[in-house]
């Protein structure tokens, strides 16, 4: 075997390695960009310190079936005495850990997730503004929220009448009050 042959084989090997290194990311996985992109967007709004486990599970089931992205949204309420664009650190202290908990659980199910935060004079106003700003294919809410803390029955009726997209309202099961909260969050967020 001549020296030229050895050089050509070695150079080909190096070029092949560089090409493989360029096209394949570490661990041999396909880059995430080449995975099919989710097209449907499922909004999962909440206001309190926990969300219904049934709503969460329904969102995950639908997202898996429809190749959708779950968008948990914390609805923050701005008191009338403050400007609408005011920071809300106290509410965020409870809302952000819950967003993190929901994101972690959704991600561990292999479902894409992207959080949102809505801000308004009431939970309904915050949701209204969120729906005005972005399109969501489906909205999943639970009817078992504390009406003093979260979406009231009036808000749910408004949602059915006025909100675009499909609305899924889950009635509470009397024997199932499981909830997802920030308790037991993996690490600090």
Partner 1 sequence: MSSAANPDSPAAASAQPDRRRGHMRLFLGMAAGVGKTYRMLLEGHAEQEAGRDVVIGLLETHGRPATARLAEGLPMVPRVRVSYRQAELEEMDLQAILRRAPELCLVDELAHTNAPGLEHVKRYEDVEDILAAGIDVLSTLNVQHLESLNDRITELSGIRVRETIPDAILGRADEVVLIDITPEALLDRLRAGNVYPLERIDAALNNFFRIENLAALREIALRQVAEEIGAKRLTTELVGSREESLASDAAGAVGERLLALVEPYPGAQRLVRRAWRSAQRLGADLDLLWVRGPGQTLSDDHQRSLAALQQLASVLGATMLVEESDDVTAKVAEVASRRGSTYIVIGRSRPARGVARLRVPLAQRLMEQLPGVDVRIVADRSQRHGSEKP
Q: Which stretch binds partner 1 (CB under 8 A): 7-15, 78-86, 156-164, 168-176?
A: 78-86
- Please say whether the beta carbons of 77 and 49 come within 8 A: no
- 42 or 156: CB nearest partner 1: 42
- Which of 25, 30, 153, 154 lies at the binding interface for partner 1 (CB under 8 A)? 25
CA–CA gap between residue 175 and residue 182 (Å, rounded): 22
Q: How far apart are CA 69 and CA 43, in angstroms?
A: 9
Stretch that binds partner 1, among 3-11, 72-80, 148-156, 163-171 (CB under 8 A): 72-80
43 or 156: whose CB is closer to partner 1? 43
Answer positive or negative: Cα dihedral of 78, 152, 143, 140.
negative
- Supply the minimum distance, in Å, between the C-beta of residue 16 and partner 1: 13
Binding mask 124-143 for partner 1 (x = CB under 8 A): ---------xx---------
- The yes or no reply on residue 165 touching partner 1 (CB under 8 A) is no
Of 36, 85, 161, 174, the one binding partner 1 by CB under 8 A: 85
Q: Please report how close the Cβ of residue 1 comes to partner 1 at its closest, in angstroms.
A: 30
Nearer Cβ to partner 1, position 160 or 164? Answer: 164
One residue of 96, 143, 167, 168 binding partner 1 per CB under 8 A = 96
Asked if 65 is part of the footprint of partner 1 (rule: CB under 8 A), the reply reads no
Q: Are strands 179-181 and 50-52 parallel, antiparallel or unpaired?
A: antiparallel
* Chain positions contacting partner 1, by CB under 8 A: 18, 21-26, 31, 53, 56-57, 60, 76, 78-79, 81-82, 85-93, 96, 99-100, 103-105, 107-109, 112-117, 119, 133-134, 180, 184, 186-189
């Amino acid at each position: 075997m001549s020296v030229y042959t050895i050089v050509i084989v070695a150079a080909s090997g190096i070029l092949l390695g560089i090409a493989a290194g360029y096209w394949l990311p570490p661990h041999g996985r396909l880059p995430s960009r080449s995975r099919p992109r989710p097209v449907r967007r499922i909004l999962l709004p909440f206001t309190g310190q926990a969300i219904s486990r049934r709503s969460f599970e329904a969102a995950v089931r639908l997202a898996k079936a429809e190749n959708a992205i779950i968008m948990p949204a914390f609805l923050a309420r701005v008191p009338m005495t403050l400007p609408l664009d005011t920071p809300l650190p106290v509410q965020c202290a409870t809302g952000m850990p819950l967003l993190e908990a929901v994101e972690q659980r959704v991600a561990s199910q292999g479902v894409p997730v992207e959080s949102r935060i809505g801000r308004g004079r009431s939970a309904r106003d915050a949701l209204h503004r969120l729906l005005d700003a972005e399109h969501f294919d489906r909205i999943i809410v639970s009817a078992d929220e504390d009406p003093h803390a979260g979406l009231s029955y009036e808000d749910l009726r408004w949602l059915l009448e006025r909100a675009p997209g499909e609305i899924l309202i889950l009635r509470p099961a009397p024997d199932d009050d499981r909830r997802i909260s920030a308790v037991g969050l993996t690490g600090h967020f």
